[in-house]
A and B are shown apart, each in its own frame.
Chain A
Amino acid sequence: MSSKSLSLRNISKRFGNVIALDNFNLEVGVGELVALLGPSGCGKTTALRVVAGLEHQDAGTVLVADKNISDVPAHKRNMGMVFQAYSLFPNLTVEENVAFGLQMRKVSKHLRLKKAHELLDLVGLDSQSKRFTHQLSGGQQQRVALARALAFEPEILLLDEPLSALDAQVRVNLREEIRRLQLSLGTTTLFVTHDQEEAMAISDRVGVMNSGVLEQIDTPDALYNKPASSFVASFVGTMNRIPAHISDGMVEIFGSKVVALKRGNENGKVHALIRPESISVVATTAQGNAKVLTRSFMGASSNIICQTSDGTIVQSLMTSASTGDLLPGSSVQLRVLSSEVLVANV
């Protein structure tokens, strides 16, 4: 296996007055798939391009297997890359595209075509090998791009939002395929995306970026359940921000007290950060603490939007079976299901 570990140490990069990366650090282990997630302009693509050698950092070092490659040109880095836009060479057939990297490495025609067919077989496109790229669908083109990036056995695989131009169903299928291939080949992979579902679904670890800084890097579970900052909490998944009162480490929400996990103000007004699935909505004939605004049926679960008596909008995610009587306008009682909540300053 040619896969290697990747380290970015104290990387800084500016574009004019804009800071794209600010003392950025990242470690990716051998065979690991790490996603960089964040809003547009957070610096995730710049980080990937610095690794690829397509941008040069202003400061800091890039190491592959502890070897400094900061000044190695892009074409000598041995990194496979899949781009957001379809980047196949339109003058070449599918098999020639996949074999391109091997051709640049002066591998004999027989061997490179053999390898190209192996890879095309892996992505289920061997039967299309003689076609030109414009004759393929978007999903097929990205599969070919993936095969091309893997054909020369790269030390690191770099994925720059490879699914963002595809239809919803194709995206889901292809992301599973990327993960399957990555696991079977054991290729160290850095995956940039703005789609949290994508990142959470296939990554070993997810790094959430904001304004050129890595806010938190952790497993998808930990990131969702134990966000390190208010930004991560809000960016990953849906989060209710409910005005509450904190005193002595306890937060009072909807009439009951729960333990504050991260403390903002020790005493006074805060926002309690609660996931929709941690809020239950129960219909009541008496005067409840909220009213139902809408109920969206989504199959197994339903999304209930309520408004509390003080005007706060609260979202709850419940199994559809228990939401039959939650009609718009009906009086309901909201309750926090978790025993601990995150808080943020108002």
Chain B
Amino acid sequence: MAKALRVRFQPPLAVTLLILGFFVFIPMVSAFEYSIRTPLTGGYGWTHYLWAIREEEFFHYIFRSGWLAGLTVLITLIVLVPTMTWLHVSKSPIRPLIDGISLLPLVIPVVAFAVGAQISFPEFVQNTVLELPFLYFVLALPYAYRSLDIGLNSIPLKTITEAARSAGANWWRTITAVIVPVIRGSVMATIALTFALSLGEYTLTVLLHWDTFPTWVTFVAQDNILGAIAISMMSLIIPFLILTVITLFVPERSMQGRK
């Protein structure tokens, strides 16, 4: 058994881990270390975390950002899954065009997007915070689209769809009872990416004059930088915990079979 656990040294993996360690883990660990410093005593403590939790706005904003992100995920799945299923099944000639359009949010500057939205959207849309999930959906589109695309390309979609339909499933049941469970991994990745991106979105939100968790953290940081870091660390941990719970408790019905 000891032999099986031994990991062979692989230079490409080592380089990747080194880069990841240097640019991701070290800053994160440093930020955490910084956030638990207590300058008055010179030691470490949870002072800033306790302060953050006692701030009544902490839960208000994290809840708001949470439901906005949840709504964005819902919009993403409702719009993308049927559309992309149709694009794949019908082998539509417009698919390359849609592929290209889905990448546009990556190259359009968020500032231009926000200003454009302010100029063009009617007032009743701009008056409600519900405009944000739709705009977040656009920002998350390149990632959500790719993730679902990989899932749909990895299965014999046309045959499975036709098998479901000939067995009596309408389009809705075909998507919900067959396609989504079969590409569960891709759907979960789409949910995670869209949720994380929406939860952390700052530029567009602040340009449209809305307050969410990231904008509040920035506001707090002006007076209490250590508190802001503590809040940020928690905002990192909370979605991580949510996603872990989802992964653990959604029943595993993968192609690998039952254990």
Contact = CB atoms under 8 A, between A and B. Distances in A.
Interface in A95-148: 100-101, 103-105, 130-132, 134-135, 145, 148
A73 B173 CA distance: 14
A79 B166 contact: yes
Interface of B is mostly: helix
Contacts of B166: 52-54, 74-75, 77, 79-81, 149, 158
B257 A89 contact: no
A324 interface: no
A191 to B, nearest CB: 15
A78 interface: yes
B257 A134 contact: yes
Contacts of B177: 103-104
11 contacts: A73-B165, A75-B166, A78-B168, A87-B163, A89-B181, A89-B182, A90-B255, A91-B255, A104-B167, A105-B168, A132-B257
Interface centre among B160, B166, B258 (most CB of A within 10 A): B166
Interface residues of B, number: 24
Nearest to B171: A75
Given A101-B168, A105-B168, A87 B162 contact: yes
A177 to B, nearest CB: 20
B159 interface: yes
A132 B258 contact: yes
Interface of A: 52-54, 73-81, 83, 85-93, 100-101, 103-105, 130-132, 134-135, 145, 148-149, 152, 158
Contacts of A130: 258
Nearest to A79: B166
Contacts of B164: 89, 100
Given A54-B162, A91-B181, A100 B167 contact: yes
Contacts of A83: 159, 162-163
Contacts of B173: 104
B253 interface: yes
Interface string B241-259: 0000000000001110110
Contact of A131 (B162, B163, B167, B257): B257
A105 to B, nearest CB: 6
B83 interface: no
Contacts of A92: 253
A179 to B, nearest CB: 21
Interface string B21-63: 0000000000000000000000000000000000000000000
Given A87-B162, A89-B178, 9 more contacts: A54-B162, A76-B168, A86-B159, A91-B182, A91-B254, A92-B253, A104-B173, A135-B257, A149-B167
B167 A152 contact: yes
B170 interface: yes
A74 B166 CA distance: 6
B169 interface: yes
Given A132-B255, A132-B258, A135-B257, A104 B169 contact: yes
